[in-house]
Amino acid sequence: MAFDLKTSVEYLKGIGAERAKLLSAELGIKSYGDLLQHYPFRYEDRTNFYKIGQLQTPNIQVLLKGRITHILKQGHGRKMRLKAYFSDATGELELVWFKKIHWVEKFLRKDVDYIIYGKTGIFNKKISIVHPEMELATHYEQKPGKGLHPVYSTTERLTKMGLDSKGITKSMRSLMDKMKNELLEETLPQHIIKALGLPSRDTAMRHIHFPESDTALRKAQNRIKFDELFFLQLELLYRYNRHRSKIKGPVFDTIGTYFNKFYTKHLAFELTGAQKRVIKEIRRDMGSGVQMNRLLQGDVGSGNTVVGLLSMLIALDNGYQSCLMAPTEILAQQHYQSISNMVKGLGVRVGFLSGSVKGKQRKELLGLLELGEIHILVGTHALIEEPVRFHNLGFAITDEQHRFGVHQRAKLWKKARPLPPHILVMTATPIPRTLAMSFYGDLDISVIDELPPGRKPIYTKHIYDIHRAELIRFMRDQITQGRQIYIVYPLIEESSKLDLQNLEDGYEYLLSQFPRPQFQIGIVHGRMKSDDKEREMQRFKNHKTDILVATTVIEVGVDVPNATVMIIENAERFGLSQLHQLRGRVGRGSEQSYCILVSSFKLSKEGKKRLQTMVQTQDGFKIAEVDLDMRGPGQITGTRQSGDLHLHLASLATDGRILQTARNLVSKILEEDPKLADPKNDVLRLYVHKHRKRILGLSMVG
């Protein structure tokens, strides 16, 4: 009989209603199953016994075997403490308790062997251990898995209620006692377990909490990680297969006047081989009769936008409208200006819609859109609002889609009738392979991994702020040669918490070093009005200013080929992805460009690694891998890894090999048995049926 994991933890010995309520609020643990999935975050090795005579220094965790020779109380009231003298053949030390003295005193017996574990301290020049963990040696010897002791994460409120790591360990042992004569239901088919040599789920769950050996622990961890990643891939690939077989899309089988005219007469540069390859993949999808659901990722400056535009022109050649939805107004404006400039003289009408477009202008825009007279609409999430109606939407691009919710993307689908639009998800942030397989594993993926020809590598250097005089000389030399410079600061105004060079002070300092009218300096930051920001950026673009002092708003700013220097102040305060995006603002022309990372000498280990990575490589995909390793998936994607992907133990940063094995296996199973109808895959079919709403619901939306 399978053990029921849905039972409330309230019924577990030592928990009860009050603690169960707190466990639910603090850690989301409601049932036996939830508690089982609260895995230890580390293990204490309690296999190495010390002798008291060996103990010389404080603050080390030790395991001792010995006897209590003497017990006494000292002090009165709240200042009372309990002392016991503990000895072995090599010496004696003091054990001290300040809390629960009466309970501890009842447990202590003289001349009986105990096993104790705790951290050493020194009091009055003597070694002591405060509040040690203790148990009778006879109990310890009979206990399975006594060498590796689990340590669980907890919270301050739970600790006050007696559910510190030790309390959770006791609850876990109580749960194991309840499970003693019952097996956990198996989740994987036997043919997979046998092929990969995995332990059963029941064995893995017992050994992850109370391992009998290092080998047993490693096998348990591998089994649980494999389970999590296997079922993640099963959901993604089952959804992908279902999508390919069920979701129809408009057929774009014509490559006509708009596409050909733009490609032959308006395109000012030769497409890279990677761009041509991606356009072929998109053309194939659009002509298949199945809705395209494709992710397009490229490095900074690799040319995502022109690929998106060519795809929109294919839609237009087939009589359909397109839209591009960006997460911020400044990014949407950049796309609008870029696309508008590229299609000048082609007869393509491009519209812009955001929250700032109001009144008569908005009404007129929406009217033209519904009549089909606007061919391409670019904007923010304002595109998905109720009054926005397309005449014939057939193609939709979402840029940096992880910043849009599933429900927002679903609204975009509903703008097209009767068939959903083809979907292209664009990101200029390179995504590590494991993240792409997990967050976008149900999409076809295209990668632009080639920069346009003629681009010179950006010379990147890390300097300390004491070399500022040398930096000023370099800046003057660049301006003399007719070049322009970005200087980026992490803050707008001084922070009391962080000792950072701030933008306002930096601007004043630069004015003293580059006086007017010989030099012109502009300033841009997030608190400026959109019009003022736009004016300053346009002045820089038109070479009316030599230096643009800015915060990270220029991460997605205007394209200025004449800007050849990017100086990043307090560079150690920026994330790797941000540094890489900022560096991508320069190097867009034919001249040599530079990225100077300025920091103080006070660098953390992580800060030093980020700056070293920037100096060593310009490959955005390599940088993304380092970023993943340092920060973890949640921060990179803007999501909580465990919450979004149902991962409790597996890590996308470190378990890439297990993930690839799981994906390959799922792919093979679904290729051979797409409906999971084979009896050997019964447990997988039941899993899909149980989670059908999640697998095939809104999450099918690109």
264 three-state secondary structure: helix
407 three-state secondary structure: helix
Residue 117 token pair: 């574990």
Comparing C-alpha atoms, which of 342, 341, 345, 317 is closest to residue 257?
Answer: 317
Domains in the chain (CATH in brackets) are: 1-47+147-182 (no CATH), 48-146 (2.40.50.140), 257-286+303-427 (3.40.50.300), 459-617 (3.40.50.300)
Residues 701 and 446: their CA atoms lie apart, in Å, by 18
pLDDT at 417: 84
pLDDT > 70? residue 423 = yes
User: Cis peptide leading into 418, omega within 30 of 0?
Assistant: yes
pLDDT at 633: 63
150 and 646 Cβ atoms separated by less than 8 Å? no
Residues 392 and 315: their CA atoms lie apart, in Å, by 10
pLDDT at 701: 47
pLDDT at 528: 79
Mean pLDDT to the nearest integer, 164-171: 92
Strand ranges (DSSP E) for 392-529?
A: 393-399, 422-427, 444-448, 459-464, 484-488, 521-524
pLDDT > 80? residue 403 = no
pLDDT at 443: 87
pLDDT at 529: 82
pLDDT at 499: 45
pLDDT tens readout for residues 75-86: 887 788 899 999
pLDDT at 634: 54
Mean pLDDT to the nearest integer, 162-184: 90
Would you give the DSSP letter of residue 493?
Answer: S
More confident residue, 312 or 532: 312
pLDDT tens readout for residues 177-189: 888 888 889 999 9
Contacts of 698 (CB under 8 A, 6+ apart): 406, 407, 410
User: Cis peptide leading into 432, omega within 30 of 0?
Assistant: no
Packing angle between helix 304-317 and helix 273-286, nearest 10 degrees?
30
More confident residue, 244 or 287: 287
Beta pairing, strands 126-130 & 91-97:
parallel
Residues 632 and 600: their CA atoms lie apart, in Å, by 26
pLDDT at 555: 57
pLDDT at 313: 97
pLDDT > 50? residue 641 = no
Mean pLDDT to the nearest integer, 538-564: 82
pLDDT > 60? residue 557 = no
Mean pLDDT to the nearest integer, 485-498: 71
pLDDT tens readout for residues 513-535: 999 889 999 988 877 787 788 78
C-alpha separations of 143 from 139, 149, 211, 394 in Å: 6, 12, 11, 66
pLDDT at 702: 43
Residues 313 and 262: their CA atoms lie apart, in Å, by 9
Residue 465 token pair: 């702020």
Give strand pairing partners of 22: none
538 three-state secondary structure: helix
pLDDT at 411: 75
pLDDT > 70? residue 556 = no
DSSP string, 579-637: HHHHHTTS--SSS--EEEEEE-S---HHHHHHHHHHHH---HHHHHHHHHHHH-HHHHH
pLDDT at 182: 85
